[in-house]
Amino acid sequence: MSKTILITGASSGFGRDTAQMLAQAGHRVFASMRDVADRNRPHAEALHAKGIHVVELDVTDDISVERGVTFVLEQAGCLDVLVNNAGIGSAGVSEAFTTEQVRALFDVNVLGIQRTLRAVLPAFRHQGEGLVINIGSILGRVTFPFFGLYGASKFAIEALTDSYRYELSQLGVEVVLVQPSNYPTNIFANAQRPGDVARGLDYGELGGIIPGKMVETLMDLFESENAPNPHDVAEAIARIVERPNGTRPARLVVGQAFGADAMNGQALSVQAEFMEALGLAQLAEPRMGPAAA
């Protein structure tokens, strides 16, 4: 059954690949991005040529998000799925990042999700059904040194996703978290680097060499014959979209887990006990929306 789907951060990477795959599967896809008429114009034109609708939407701007979602609802008449994919990376000595850099990181990776949810959820609640897919990371479960600030933003998405899943479960709206591993996209190639270079130099070899070597190792892996295929993520998202309401997992690791899958299992058990103790166990079981009734 064809669905109307909005994807944020769809100019490249997971977002673009997912937009193209879902459109090929027969869904009506709205790929959103910033600077449609300028920096991202080639990407917008390429997607449009494939029959994908392109929407100007900046997840760091409340007005832009509201305008973009309103446009989708006016054009399509409804919205079935929101894929919160927009994000930026960060790599380096944590202390050497300025407060402004960290604020910008969280503005995209965390507040951007809050903005899109506030814009979309009134329509989902009115319909009595909808699907939210948040793109997190295994670094929201396990911590790599020098990627801690990026990981912190993804840890925040873990809590945000769980809370929304519980709060929306009886309203017909499902919330799923996808946790990709390391894949060759632009997110780390274009990641933030520390703004306070001198502070990083105070760490000596630890701060001056190791972070760069870690990124270099990733880049080498991505260019090798054994490079992980980022299309895995698009395929995982497509499978989630196709599954019947009420059967979707709360979380899904895609790629090498580095223990994140084990931590997911432990957290699921702890959360279930906690919700039971609070007398809120029913919120862990989604109520079926109209399409699944």
Q: How do the pLDDT tens digits run along the chain, 293 residues long?
A: 899 999 999 999 999 999 999 999 999 999 999 999 999 999 999 999 999 999 999 999 999 999 999 999 999 999 999 999 999 999 999 999 999 999 999 999 999 999 999 999 999 999 999 999 999 999 999 999 999 999 999 999 999 999 999 999 999 999 999 999 988 777 766 789 999 989 988 988 777 677 777 777 766 666 767 778 889 999 999 999 999 999 999 999 999 999 999 999 999 999 999 999 999 999 988 886 554 43
Q: Pairing between strand 81-84 and 4-7?
A: parallel
- Confidence at residue 227, expressed as pLDDT on a 0 to 100 scale: 75
Q: 279: which 2 tokens? A: 């007398």
Catalytic residue among 3, 50, 154, 213: 154
Q: What is the DSSP letter of 37?
A: T
> Is the entire prediction scored with pTM above 0.85?
yes
Q: Would 126 be classed as within a structural domain?
A: yes
Which structural domain, as residue segments, surrounds residue 138? Answer: 4-86+106-182+231-292
- Confidence at residue 208, expressed as pLDDT on a 0 to 100 scale: 67
Kindly report the CATH number assigned to the domain that includes residue 142: 3.40.50.720
| Residue 51 backbone dihedrals phi, psi, to 5 degrees | 80, 20
CB-based burial label for 279 (10 Å; 0-12, 13-18, 19+): exposed
Integer Cα distance of 116 and 68 in angstroms = 9
Q: Would 208 be classed as within a structural domain?
A: no
Residue 150 annotated to the active site: yes
Residue 203 annotated to the active site: no
- Confidence at residue 281, expressed as pLDDT on a 0 to 100 scale: 94
Domain count, the chain: 1
- Confidence at residue 292, expressed as pLDDT on a 0 to 100 scale: 42
Q: Pairing between strand 130-135 and 4-7?
A: unpaired
Q: Would 97 be classed as within a structural domain?
A: no
- Confidence at residue 222, expressed as pLDDT on a 0 to 100 scale: 64
Catalytic residue among 3, 50, 150, 183: 150
Q: Would 207 be classed as within a structural domain?
A: no
One-letter amino acid at 120 equals V
- Confidence at residue 287, expressed as pLDDT on a 0 to 100 scale: 80
Q: Would 219 be classed as within a structural domain?
A: no
Give the closest residue to 198 by CA, choosing from 190, 206, 189, 208.
208
Handedness of CA 236, 238, 239, 240 (dihedral sign): positive
Q: Would 223 be classed as within a structural domain?
A: no
Dihedral class, residue 272 (left if φ above 0, else alpha if ψ from -120 to 50, else beta): alpha
Q: Would 193 be classed as within a structural domain?
A: no
Helix 112-127 × helix 148-168 angle, to 10°: 20
